[in-house]
Amino acid sequence: MRIAFVASAMPRRCGIATFTGDLVAAVKSADPTIRVHQVAIDEPSAARAYGPDVRWRIQQEEPESYRQAALEINDSNVDIVNIQHEFGLYGVWHDGAYDDHLAVFLDALEKPSVTTLHTVPPQPDQWLRAAVRAVSDKSDVLVVMAHTAAQLLRDVYGITKEPVVIEHGMPAIEPHGRHRLKRQLGVKDRQIVSTFGLVDPRKGLEYVIEAMPAIVRAHPSALYLIVGQTHPELLKKQGEAYRNSLVDVVHTMGVTGHVKFVNEYLTQRQIVDYLLASDVYVTPYLDPNQITSGTLAYALGAGKAIVSTPYLHAREVLSEGRGILVPFRDAPAIAEAVTSILSNPGAKQRLEMRAYEYGKEMAWPAIGRRVLALMRDVLDAREPADPALDGTRAVPT
């Protein structure tokens, strides 16, 4: 099988690029005979060197570039196309309307396609509902990462095609080595609260900082690690204004010795090391409609005790005692939840065990096998029952 993955691609620093790189590696691992090509979406005016998997490029915000990429894929020996969808990568907004460039791509594409929706807003505008319906109509299969998203597609978007739920992948992690990794990271004898990922105002990190004085009063060795660089698009527009505002909050709250910024773009191994060194992982995100979170998936896979605001993905995966949900923008609630975990080793261990048992089923090797099996099913459905009798392709079901 020859697969073309359409998305942003490493070394572009964005979550979809990281996800797609992990997915490509997982699919290759599941079947080393698979041939993979990537179609890299470049932001305007970008120039970067890609690895050998990148065969085509799309210039973001240029609809003709999307169409041309589809035509070139049609002329290639690619068997199936895997699309990782995020609205910002596949269109632009003009005066409240959305110019959908994925529709341009799919209109020109003749190969079978599987599209993964990374965002499914629960209260869509008319243009958004129309864009998602177009993706559904023109893709052989839709994939979402949560059962909540599948329900939204049925109940809110009116899509009758049943989506396939394949959860956000994560590394296969053995949840051991906390004390050793603390020593290696220079935080020995500290109780570590952490958040990782690209830093931007949607993360709500200031509320964890504001919670730190109460946490430190109960646990004087507590240290909050904010791990990750500022989001590159935010950096272009506003520089380090948000990070600097967080530093100001640290000083205002008097917790300079209890908050540390790790302002680096981390490898997967480094991310896992920081996670395994952590005692409590916090996702204080502000968007109640966030349907997926790669950082939350990683924390589950690492078997962490998790405190989170109740955005859609967190409500689903942290149910049944797999984590603690706190209200949005509520520093006292964050402080109470983190303190309760650090004060009760038995409860902490139970949270960790439940998280790990749930998360290990979403490790990348398993996700790679599921995605590969789905694409094979799509190809099988496209083939006529007896090619010797029917020289045309079957209509997709």
Task: Indicate if 222 and 97 belong to the same structural domain.
Answer: no
Task: Indicate if 218 and 128 belong to the same structural domain.
Answer: no
Task: Indicate if 199 and 342 belong to the same structural domain.
Answer: yes
Flag whether 391 is in a domain.
Answer: no
Q: 195 near 318, Cβ under 8 Å?
A: no
Q: 229 near 13, Cβ under 8 Å?
A: yes
Handedness of CA 42, 45, 51, 52 (dihedral sign): positive
Flag whether 37 is in a domain.
Answer: yes
Q: What is the CATH number of the domain that holds 301?
A: 3.40.50.2000
- The 10s digit of each residue's pLDDT in 79-97 is 999 999 999 999 998 877 8
Count the domains in the chain.
2
Task: Indicate if 191 and 120 belong to the same structural domain.
Answer: no
Task: Indicate if 261 and 370 belong to the same structural domain.
Answer: no
Amino acid at 297: A
Flag whether 393 is in a domain.
Answer: no
What is the span of the domain harbouring residue 222?
178-361
| pTM assigned to the model | 0.79
Burial letters for 149-167: b for 16+ Cβ neighbours within 10 Å, e otherwise?
bbebbeeebebeeebeebb
Task: Indicate if 252 and 154 belong to the same structural domain.
Answer: no
Which residues, in sequence order, are bridge partners of residue 280?
A: 193, 305
Task: Indicate if 198 and 342 belong to the same structural domain.
Answer: yes
pLDDT in tens, the chain (397 residues): 999 999 999 999 888 999 999 999 999 999 999 999 999 999 887 888 999 999 999 999 999 999 999 999 999 999 999 999 999 999 998 877 889 999 999 999 999 999 999 989 998 988 899 999 999 999 999 999 999 999 999 999 999 999 999 999 888 888 888 999 999 999 999 999 999 988 999 999 999 999 999 999 999 999 999 999 998 888 888 999 999 999 999 999 999 999 999 998 788 888 899 999 999 999 999 999 888 888 999 999 999 999 999 999 999 999 999 999 999 999 999 999 999 999 999 999 999 999 999 988 889 999 999 999 999 999 999 876 444 444 443 333 3
